[in-house]
Amino acid sequence: MFGIACSECASMNSYQVTTGAFFECHQCHHEITVEDLDIDPSEIWTVDANGILGFVIDPIVSLREMSDAIDEYMGEDHDSMGELEALRNFRDAALRLQGALEVGVPYPVAKM
């Protein structure tokens, strides 16, 4: 999970769940709601087991990136730098998928 910086004091991973529909920065006590979040459409906001607000990459995006990386790998020469880069891209996408699953984002069942 990627942390969200406080818009007032810039501390990272500082927004925690409060009673009601707010998240409060534990450093400066600035409050936000989900509507205040400005995240990319490929990201999903989430709360970890400790109540910290953050975001993950949408699993559908990660699965597409993994598929693209396999296609790149298959098109590269054996033992080439392009092949290595494709493997790194696959690994990175797999780790982003794992991060989303770890915080409870469901695995997508619909076709990509």
pTM, whole model, 2 decimals?
A: 0.81
Asked if residue 112 has pLDDT above 70, the reply is no
Q: 54 and 13 in contact (C-beta within 8 Å)?
A: yes
Q: What is the pLDDT of residues 51-91, one digit of tens each?
A: 999 999 999 999 999 999 999 999 999 899 999 999 999 99
The CA-based angle 78-82-86, given to 5 degrees, is 100
Pairing state of beta strands 2-3 and 31-32?
unpaired
pLDDT above 70 for 94: yes
- The reported pLDDT for the residue numbered 65 is 97
